[in-house]
Amino acid sequence: MSIVAIVGRPNVGKSTFFNRLIQRREAITDAVSGVTRDRHYGKTDWNGREFSVIDTGGYVIGSDDVFEAEIDKQVELAIDEADAVIFMVDAEDGITSMDEDVAKILRKVTKPIFLVVNKVDNVQRIQDAYEFYNLGLGDYFNISSINGSGTGELLDAIVEKLPEKEEIEEEELPRFAVVGRPNAGKSSFINALIGEDRYIVTDIAGTTRDSIDTKYNRFGFEFNLVDTAGIRRKKKVKEDLEFYSVMRSVRAIEHCDVCLLVLDATRGFDGQVQNIFWLAERNRKGIVILVNKWDLVEKETNTMRDFEAQIRREMEPFTDVPIVFMSVLNKQRIYKAIETAVEVYKNRSKKIKTSKLNEVMLPIIENRPPPSTKGKYVKIKFVTQLPTPQPQFAFFCNLPQYVREPYKRYLENQLREHFDFTGVPVSVYMRKK
Ligand code: GDP
Ligand code: GDP
């Protein structure tokens, strides 16, 4: 999927525009998972084309000075990782020196750049906006993120410039992405996996510039490793930037079936690891947590159990995820990691017959029907799995709008209990029948 990055100095209206773009989409995903994280990263679609939007500015906290120091890196990052860049400026303020700095970088870029003048809320501002020709980026789009004017034309233009839909891979090999924070041990893990060259079967050029799929045949499993560009790319951007590893992960996650989320046991399941975790969950990808460097942890009787319990608390409500403790250094449980990823892959592509589903689920529902609301009783008549790449279930009933989140979660948990969807986000929809 294509990525569009929004860059610009603080207060020009990036978040306002971003929120407008992803709103509709958020409404859908929130209804399912009840989770809103990574609000600077979202999906949207326009005229049937889906793409991801990243508000890079959202990651910079601090004064203008701080921003000024970061802006080069930020823009460079957007250029590296995105398929198109929206450069947002502010009609109210006119051109500032920071705008000029950004324009200077963008003028050298061959990717589609969209200069967007925001806060054009009235006719006077249309006049004011002319000065932005001076940025040397050619034509621009006048929009008002607050009232939405001009955003349609902008989106038309963006969608037109995005790369064509990626072809669907013909072979159905699992696609694994190794993601995580810098220094977690991702490269070591990949090196340990590929070990000797003979395990590499072929290099398939990725469908996008940044992602290279490499086919492996290891431990009796065949899989594609979705490599993040960042793993091999020289470190242009300082590694400790919060958004950098998130953006790198975005690409890898979108191209995979299962994320192998590597974390450093000495650092734990911290905020940034959680960001990546929720990113994968939001994208409905399979997930395996690999707690690496287990050799460095001093162990007492319950160390592993406690460690695991702590991670699961942070993962709520999506806790049905395998956690493998490994040491890449000692080549410990690397096989287990891959084996688990293969299982998650199978769970994700599992298709359950409608007859079987109803046979199992209807008695469960009968036993504990949805609680009545305002004297209305919901009658669920029929369940079916939707023909999507990841598990989604539609429950047909008379009054879908009366089924609340806790009951949907109950249904999800029952599905998990009876059919095993470990490591896989499961979507439950109520439909009118
Ligand atoms: P960011 O720092 O670039 O993400 O900017 P925000 O989205 O937080 O917006 C900064 C301020 O500009 C907020 O007070 C917004 O309400 C305001 N703003 C955003 N878009 C518009 C717009 O189209 N017109 C006007 N008048 N104000 C806007
Ligand atoms: P990446 O940035 O996630 O690709 O991390 P690297 O693979 O470069 O590893 C970062 C550091 O952690 C390197 O010094 C590795 O040797 C070390 N490392 C990786 N795996 C392990 C492990 O299982 N145990 C220990 N003790 N060190 C490890």
ipTM of the complex: 0.64
Amino acid code (one letter) for 403:
V
Minimal CA–CA distance to 249: which of 191, 179, 320, 183?
Answer: 179
Atom number of ligand 1 nearest to Cα 118:
23
Mean pLDDT, residues 105-114 taken together: 90
Is the domain spanning 2-161 CATH 3.40.50.300? The answer is: yes
Q: Which protein residue's CA is at the shortest distance from atom 18 of ligand 1?
A: 13
Q: Give all strands (DSSP E) within 232-365, no chain letters.
A: 258-264, 286-292, 323-325
Structure tokens at 129: 């906006």
Å from CA of 54 to ligand 1 middle? 17
pTM: 0.64
Q: Where do the domains of the chain lie?
A: 2-161, 175-347, 354-432
To the question of whether residue 230 is assigned a binding role by annotation, the answer is: yes
Mean pLDDT, residues 327-342 taken together: 91
Q: Is residue 369 scored above 60 in pLDDT?
A: yes
To the question of whether residue 14 is assigned a binding role by annotation, the answer is: yes
Is it true that 2-161 and 175-347 share their CATH fold?
yes
173 or 264, which is more confident?
A: 264
Q: Which CATH architecture has domain 354-432?
A: 2-Layer Sandwich (3.30)
Minimal CA–CA distance to 402: which of 371, 425, 433?
Answer: 371
Over the stretch 87-96, which tens digit does the pLDDT of each residue have?
A: 999 999 999 9
Residue 82, number of CB atoms within 10 A of its CB: 26
The correct CATH number of 175-347 out of 3.40.50.300, 3.90.70.10, 3.40.50.261, 3.20.20.80 is: 3.40.50.300
To the question of whether residue 48 is assigned a binding role by annotation, the answer is: no
Region at 374 (left for phi over 0; alpha for psi -120 to 50; beta for the rest): left
Minimal CA–CA distance to 242: which of 113, 66, 33, 105?
Answer: 66
